[in-house]
Chain A
């Protein structure tokens, strides 16, 4: 069965430091992969998605992620954290049947940014 694992439920960085949020997936077919962000008391917002084009995907707010098939990973990075990046981040994989829009989410990683 498909699954997504996000390593680290909480990540804390200083403002200006590198952000690295880890995501590993399992899928029997080439997946579509997504990162969503959830700010307090809001719904999820798409940061970026991998759809089998370029393996390095750039998203909004300076985030990017690299698809590494050999490592089954899709880690999210940002060179310099900003206070406004504090939120919960979810990695997701698309349903491998390819016939639905179903997404399978990881457990989420809460990013704390310290001044």
Chain B
């Protein structure tokens, strides 16, 4: 158990809908990362938050947004869902996240999203 929790574990929805994925980092970790794992794109970095502020952005679609709350949990919002958004979404956390990737990132078990 990494200490990172993600809810829900599974999510099935229809095209055009909106969903919210939730992540609670390890106690004391200030950075939260979101990654998308799909068969065609592999494991891709989406976005990083550090202590409530956006720190880095990857290949995140405009239909997707995220935020980190004062209690440090994070939510990833996916809207206008398309079939191609079906994937496993991972959240990870680290203590700081400013050290050029030097810190270990601890991954949650993921949320599996299926868009029908």
Contact = CB atoms under 8 A, between A and B. Distances in A.
Interface of A: 32, 34, 36, 41-46, 49, 51, 90, 93-95, 97-108
B48 A105 contact: no
A104 B43 CA distance: 8
Interface of B: 2, 4, 31, 33, 35, 42-45, 48, 55-56, 58, 90, 92, 94, 96-110
Contacts, number: 81
A113 B98 CA distance: 38
Nearest to B43: A105
A99 B90 CA distance: 21
A95 B42 contact: no
Contacts of A43: 2, 4, 90, 92, 107-110
Given A102-B101, A107-B42, A44 B48 contact: no
Contacts of A44: 43, 90, 92, 107
Contacts of B56: 95, 99-102
